[in-house]
Structure 1
Amino acid sequence: MDFSVIVPAFNEERRIAACLESIRAQRTRHSYEVIVSDSNSTDRTASIAASYADKLADRTASIAASYADKLVVCRERGTARARNEGARLACGDILAFIDSDTVIMPDYLDTVYETFRDKRTLAVSCAFKFTNRRPKLLAAEYATNAYYILRSLCGAATLPGFNVCIRRGAFERVGGFRLCHLEDLDMSIKLRQIGKTVYLSRRLAVTSSRRLEQDGIAGTLKYYMDLFEASQNRRLGFHVIKLKRSQYNDYVHRE
């Protein structure tokens, strides 16, 4: 199988259906499976995912060999743990991690696959759009994509976890996602130390802007700066703005 698309989820009943529909809508000749790794949600997330798997089986019976949809429930919460558990069940040569509040464009898998034709490439992320199109968020979207593209051109790609595709062999070599804050950044660092990583400039993912909407640009920037210092055990040496203490122990970063 070419791809295993792994969707970590926790209490995403309002968003996961759109995510799964975007995966099902892929226009591709490549085989893929979908694995939803639910972090013991307390809402309807798991039941929606199970319903999706049933519908997919009904509608694709003629090409069932291309799909092997799975739902796994992790009793302990955490995005890294959910991604790792999904990967444990995966059959694909490429592990595509798509967050449950993210949708991908119909040519996402084909575009990623073309990049992996370069055997040196170990991992790929695609540029993104935010769901909310307010001017401030558009500016943040543009600046973030530009920063990631520049880093990729310089050979030091940062791969945002809401859409990241990794060769299975490379994923296993580095031991999967570390159970830490900013596990996607930690994975980026480990992968680029052993091979080529790429951030594509094509905007093939649309992801939630809710953290920016909740905390603002300065608050979000500080949140991630603090998390970087905590996960990498190093100081950045500056702070853009001193706000209230960041709250690390939400579900996303719980170890």
Structure 2
Amino acid sequence: MPTVSIIMATHNQADLIEKSVKSVLNQTFKDYELIVINDGSTDNTGMIFQEKVKSEKIRYYYQENKGTANARNKGLRLAAGQYVVFLDSDDLLYPDYLERQVETIRGTKSDLVACDFNLLYSDGTRKKVTINTTEEDQFYQAIIQNQSPPVATMMKKNVVTEAGFFDESLPSAEDYDLFLRIFARGAVLARTRETLCDYTIHPLGKSAHLENMIKDKTKIVNKLSRMLIEKPDLLRKEQLKALMDKNLISFHQCLALNIDTASAMPDAVHFMENQYSKRRGLASFLVKYLGYPRYNRLSFIKNSLSCKGYGKMRLDQELSWRKK
């Protein structure tokens, strides 16, 4: 069996995938497999694997379009390696990526390892990103930083499967959600202090994509707030509580106020944080601001507010009184 399984989910990126696959085939560390899940591409992706990038190390599968999370989960179930890497079809591995990452994860006996990486922009320019991590508070760091993309991270396969795979209900941010669940289980992250890959950045459009991203992140924060309620030991540090306050305000209130563009989010967060600091309370303010016809939009915020010091009974009483 191979030591590492590289899982590539792809959809209509035939113009980029050949270069990405060749970056895998050029690795100095040879004990790996590349599992490619073609998630319903309608371009010539299949032809590329038939004619241009043939290798016994490649296992190629086609499926109807079911989304990135589903394709990654399929690849994970097929993986035979002890370690896994999730590689997007527009990202690039440097030749010694596998060699150095395997060396680090084995040497540190950690659950996952992250390397430094370059942000690769559409104009070809690169910007280096350095991973900052300490042995303590890694769950906290995972929430606050969210800075290690899948391509820069190698994980033990069982760490991913035991955390519950990728959430297939999330069209975006599924990797962030997975990492939070992994660290909530006490996984240990080590760092390879070298730049070993390129993570490709694409411009975001001001359309439904941004709105869906906000909704997905809101769902993740909801899941995280429930996790923290169920596991109060994760809340033992005041800095984590403060961070959760900020994150909940950022995602929940931006969505509640129908803010669907990234440029508007900072202003909304600043506005809501100023209101939240006042004694009248966030729940009371939102009821007044949103108006009673839109009052039911607060229901998805209730669980999150309980993390902020509102007892559930107290919050229910306040909201019940405001409805009258």
- Relative to the length of structure 2, the TM-score reads 0.59
Please state if 1:106 is matched with 2:133. no
Change (3 A) 1:211 1:151: farther
Q: Does the 8 A contact of 2:111 with 2:187 survive in 1?
A: yes
Aligned partners of 1:211 and 1:223: how far apart in 2?
16
SS of alignment partner, residue 4 of structure 1:
strand
The alignment yields a C-alpha RMSD, in angstroms, of 3.3
Aligned partners of 1:229 and 1:245: how far apart in 2?
12
Aligned partners of 2:258 and 2:203: how far apart in 1?
15
Change (3 A) 1:9 1:163: farther
Partner of 1:149: 132
Aligned partners of 2:63 and 2:186: how far apart in 1?
30
Aligned partners of 1:149 and 1:71: how far apart in 2?
35
Change (3 A) 1:125 1:46: farther
Aligned partners of 2:258 and 2:179: how far apart in 1?
27
Partner of 1:19: 20
Aligned partners of 2:14 and 2:91: how far apart in 1?
13
Q: Does the 8 A contact of 2:112 with 2:190 survive in 1?
A: yes
Report deviation, 1:120. Answer: 4.2
Q: Does the 8 A contact of 1:120 with 1:195 survive in 2?
A: no
The structure with the largest alpha-carbon Rg is: 2
Q: Does the 8 A contact of 1:122 with 1:191 survive in 2?
A: no
Report deviation, 1:14. Answer: 0.8
1:49-83, Cα deviation, whole Å (9 max, x unpaired): 343552x24xxxxxxxxx3x211122132111111
Q: Does the 8 A contact of 2:38 with 2:60 survive in 1?
A: yes
Task: Return the match for 1:208 from 189, 200, 203.
Answer: 200
Q: Which has the higher helix share?
A: 2
Q: Does the 8 A contact of 2:87 with 2:151 survive in 1?
A: yes
Partner of 1:245: 260
- The one-letter amino acid of 1:117's match is R
Change (3 A) 1:199 1:41: farther
Partner of 1:62: none
Q: Does the 8 A contact of 2:122 with 2:201 survive in 1?
A: no
Change (3 A) 1:110 1:7: same
Report deviation, 1:227. Answer: 3.5
SS of alignment partner, residue 176 of structure 1:
coil
Report deviation, 1:3. Answer: 0.7
Change (3 A) 1:224 1:163: farther
Change (3 A) 1:48 1:194: same
Task: Return the match for 1:184 from 160, 175, 178.
Answer: 175
Partner of 2:113: 124
Task: Return the match for 2:64 from 72, 75, 84.
Answer: 75
- Relative to the length of structure 1, the TM-score reads 0.74
Partner of 1:174: 163
Partner of 2:82: 93
Aligned partners of 2:258 and 2:191: how far apart in 1?
31
- Which structure is higher in RCO with an 8 Å CA cutoff and minimum separation 6? 1
Count the aligned residue pairs.
224
- The one-letter amino acid of 2:77's match is R
Aligned partners of 2:117 and 2:249: how far apart in 1?
29
Q: Does the 8 A contact of 2:94 with 2:197 survive in 1?
A: yes
Aligned partners of 2:178 and 2:15: how far apart in 1?
28
Which one is further off, 81-90 or 155-164? 155-164
Partner of 2:217: 228
Change (3 A) 1:37 1:134: closer
Which ranges in structure 1 are unaligned for 5 or more consecutive residues? 58-66, 248-255
Which one is further off, 113-122 or 3-12? 113-122
Partner of 1:9: 10
The percentage of counterpart residues that share the same residue type is 23
Report deviation, 1:246. Answer: 5.6
